[in-house]
Amino acid sequence: MERWRGKVAIVTGASSGIGAALVKDLVHYGVQVVALARRDDRLKEIRDSLPAGQKALVHPIKCDITQEEDIKSAFAWVEKNLGGVDILVNNAGVLRMTAALKPDNSQDIKDTINTNVIGLAFCTREAYHSMKRRNVSGHIFLVNSLAGHRVPDFGPSMSSSVYAASKYAVTALTEIYRQELANAGTKIKVTSISPGPVDTEIFPGAINMIKDKVKILDPEDISESIIYALSTKPHVQVQDIILRPLAVDMPSLVKQLTTEKK
């Protein structure tokens, strides 16, 4: 991680969960972190909780990644004040438990696609041009999901099909970015991180009931995998990392627990 000391990382969705854990890990290694989220008060709390020598490495910026102007403004601030971005972690995401064919779910579909796909794509585009302009060995991360590799079936009472569709798009974008970055002759890596259930605010209460039965992933587990990928040699690209809780099949467990509650 020494080669990243003093470099600049942008982390979206940094106010809680995986993003907050990653902010703390990155500054530990001397990385300057631009923390983006809608809740800038939470970002400032995270910064203020750090050891005195690390506080100045965190730059909180209020940013709604469903708003393209917010994204452009945040990246412009980074260019002007920090010289550009070297690491991008597309972590912001939403999970709406709605079936694709459910009536009156238009807002859930828009929120999911705008955050998980379009916002991610806009952030990646801006980061790419910053990295390419300076010809740096950058790294772009897409926080994906197991649902981006296998559509989970939670039964008729719950559905995350729209979320899964958005994460399948992230899986496709990972390979698209790899090809485009290679064709452009850059030194920029791209890595998809696909965790199973993580103990974060994204999960609705109905899924949180599994925490009483099994040990699910912690945000720190995902942050550690990102640090691992960053630590690889410049010629090594870790394209996909899949993490899941040991010996847990989440769809089957959720089906079982929802049946027991009836």
Is 168 among the catalytic positions? no
The answer to whether 85 and 136 are in contact (CB under 8 A) is no
Q: How far apart are CA 186 and CA 130, in angstroms?
A: 12
Starting at the earlier edge strand, list the strands of the sheet with 58-62: 58-62, 32-37, 8-12, 87-90, 139-143, 189-195, 240-243
Neighbours of 42 (CB within 10 A): 17
* CB distance 141 to 22 below 8 Å: no
Among residues 128, 163, 168, 177, the one annotated as catalytic is 163
- Active-site residue list: 163
